[in-house]
């Protein structure tokens, strides 16, 4: 039962990073710009983040397995349409919207079913370790597999590859049995769902507008913050009135969970932000092919894979807080190595040590962060916390891509300086995650 769930997380993470090595090919084929491709990638991640919480709430009403199957079907349709996209508009519709909606539908059931099907602490930790590891591997192998397919055939075939994996998952998922029946009469807080989704979209939209108009950026960020504040006020009001709310405010009263959510957000912001910046730099400035860029990112894949394979043994020997701290330390050191070596050497192959340290660091802390959050709440709140956890992680991915990509695109007149600036910002974001990890309780 774990295989289709882990594969589902793999393909969604793969989709979030494989387009990074297709930037130049898509730009040329669809007659668009680097910023156009960045918008497509960021919107995909943003749609996931914005809809993850509402879709997590749907699992109680329609059933976890049904939501999983529906999400896989929508995602598969988006992948096929992306492969045939004649222009950027259709690619945004198919990749950013359809695949984003499909991912938001299928990811919460993956984590809820894992929590329900694996009840023992050790078995659940191993299951989360497998799924989180596959997510990290998917994000890390996206550039390599996508680059190989793009160079050998076409970037369009990479979306066909995604559709084939989806078919395999649907077949394997037929064996999964939903542990709890659906509740057709379960109410859904539509106002809360709209407020949370719109607030996140406007907030990230403000970040992406930074290279165009600083006044517009500030206005959108403030508007997004106000809408999200309205969302929390609405939820609090619904709960006080005894009505069903999109999220329980109890999810935000657990200090340990809140800190672990911050670490989740930051680790994905670092991984996806650096992936976009380094990929764009190698292809546009260094004129590397998609496969050559993907091969360089193999170092990140190896780092995540080795750390994920050791996750079970590490969890038995060290506290989860210690693993998260070690992960951030490794990733931050990797970022500074990335800056120092690239600045002093002309060959882009000197990025490999830094990318490896970043991958190893993210791989070490993926499982502990998820396990701390999911295990902090009882079974009746697993649907809500799963949606919140995945939304926070994907929001981190969209933040990372939007922030780093905006800095890089805005400064292409001086590419090296823009590259270093974007990486330095990722290091600062990593320090925020490290501070959150230090604040976690020791036990």
pLDDT value, residue 247: 78
DSSP state of 33: -
Strand (E) or helix (H) holding 420? helix 415-439
The domain locations on the chain are: 2-176+246-439, 189-245
Tell me which of 3.40.50.450, 3.30.465.10, 1.20.1250.20, 1.10.645.10 is the CATH number of domain 2-176+246-439: 1.20.1250.20
To the nearest 10°, the Cα dihedral for 118, 376, 136, 432? -170
Between the CA of residue 97 and those of 46, 55, 427, what are the distances in Å? 9, 14, 30
Q: Which of 110, 137, 438, 115 is nearest to 311 (CA)?
A: 137
CA-to-CA distance for 439 and 416, rounded, in angstroms?
Answer: 35
Q: Which of 338, 330, 336, 339 is nearest to 357 (CA)?
A: 330
The phi, psi pair for 156, rounded to 5°, reads -65, -35
Q: Is residue 133 within 8 Å of residue 363, measured between CB atoms?
A: yes
CA-to-CA distance for 22 and 135, rounded, in angstroms?
Answer: 20
Per-residue pLDDT of the chain in tens (443 residues, 90 and over written 9): 788 999 998 998 888 778 878 888 898 899 988 878 878 888 887 888 778 878 877 887 888 889 999 999 999 999 999 999 999 999 999 999 999 999 989 988 888 888 788 877 677 777 877 887 787 778 777 888 888 898 889 999 999 999 999 999 999 998 888 877 777 777 778 888 889 888 888 888 887 776 667 788 888 889 989 999 999 999 889 888 888 777 788 888 888 889 999 999 999 899 888 888 888 888 877 788 888 888 888 888 788 878 877 776 777 788 888 899 999 999 999 998 888 876 656 676 778 888 999 989 988 888 788 888 877 777 667 667 776 777 788 788 878 888 887 787 765 556 677 888 888 899 999 999 999 999 988 77
pLDDT value, residue 382: 66
CA-to-CA distance for 161 and 41, rounded, in angstroms?
Answer: 18
Q: Is residue 126 within 8 Å of residue 119, measured between CB atoms?
A: no
pLDDT value, residue 379: 67
CA-to-CA distance for 19 and 29, rounded, in angstroms?
Answer: 14
């Amino acid at each position: 039962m774990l295989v289709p769930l882990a594969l589902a997380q793999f393909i969604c993470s793969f989709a979030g990073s494989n387009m990074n090595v297709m930037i130049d090919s898509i730009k040329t084929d669809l007659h668009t710009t680097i910023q156009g491709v960045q918008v497509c990638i960021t919107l995909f991640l943003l749609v996931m983040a914005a809809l993850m919480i509402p879709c997590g709430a749907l699992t109680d009403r329609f059933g976890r397995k049904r939501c999983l199957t529906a999400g896989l079907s929508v995602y598969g349709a988006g992948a096929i349409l992306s492969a045939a996209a004649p222009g950027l508009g259709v690619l945004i519709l198919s990749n950013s919207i359809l695949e984003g909606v499909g991912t938001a539908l299928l990811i919460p059931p993956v984590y809820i079913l894992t929590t329900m099907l694996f009840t023992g602490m050790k078995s659940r930790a191993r299951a989360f370790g497998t799924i989180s590891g596959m997510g990290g591997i998917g994000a890390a192998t996206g550039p390599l597999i996508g680059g190989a397919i793009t160079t050998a055939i076409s970037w369009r075939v990479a979306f066909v590859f995604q559709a084939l994996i989806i078919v395999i998952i649907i077949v394997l998922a037929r064996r999964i049995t939903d542990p709890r029946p659906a509740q057709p009469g379960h109410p859904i807080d539509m106002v809360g769902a709209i407020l949370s989704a719109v607030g996140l979209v406007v907030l990230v939209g403000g970040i992406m507008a930074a290279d165009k108009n600083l006044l517009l950026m500030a206005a959108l960020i403030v508007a997004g913050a106000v809408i999200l504040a309205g969302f929390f006020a609405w939820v609090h009001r619904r709960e006080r009135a005894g009505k069903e709310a999109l999220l329980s405010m109890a999810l935000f009263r657990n200090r340990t969970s809140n800190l672990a959510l911050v670490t989740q957000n930051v680790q994905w912001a670092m991984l996806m932000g650096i992936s976009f910046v380094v990929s764009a730099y190698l292809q546009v400035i260094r004129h590397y092919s998609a496969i050559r860029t993907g091969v360089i990112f193999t170092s990140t894949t190896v780092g995540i894979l080795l750390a994920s394979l050791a996750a079970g043994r590490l969890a038995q020997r060290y506290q989860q807080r210690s693993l998260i701290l070690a992960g951030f330390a490794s990733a931050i050191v990797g970022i500074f190595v990335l800056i120092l070596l690239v600045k002093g050497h002309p060959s882009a192959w000197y990025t490999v040590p830094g990318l490896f340290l970043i991958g190893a660091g993210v791989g070490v802390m993926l499982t502990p962060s998820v396990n701390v959050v999911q295990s902090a709440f009882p079974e009746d709140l697993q649907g809500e916390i799963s949606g919140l956890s995945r939304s926070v992680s994907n929001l981190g991915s969209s933040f990372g891509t939007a922030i780093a990509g905006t800095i890089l695109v805005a400064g292409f007149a001086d590419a090296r300086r823009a590259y270093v600036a974007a990486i330095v910002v990722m290091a600062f974001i990593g320090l925020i995650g490290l501070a959150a990890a230090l604040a976690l309780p020791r036990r």
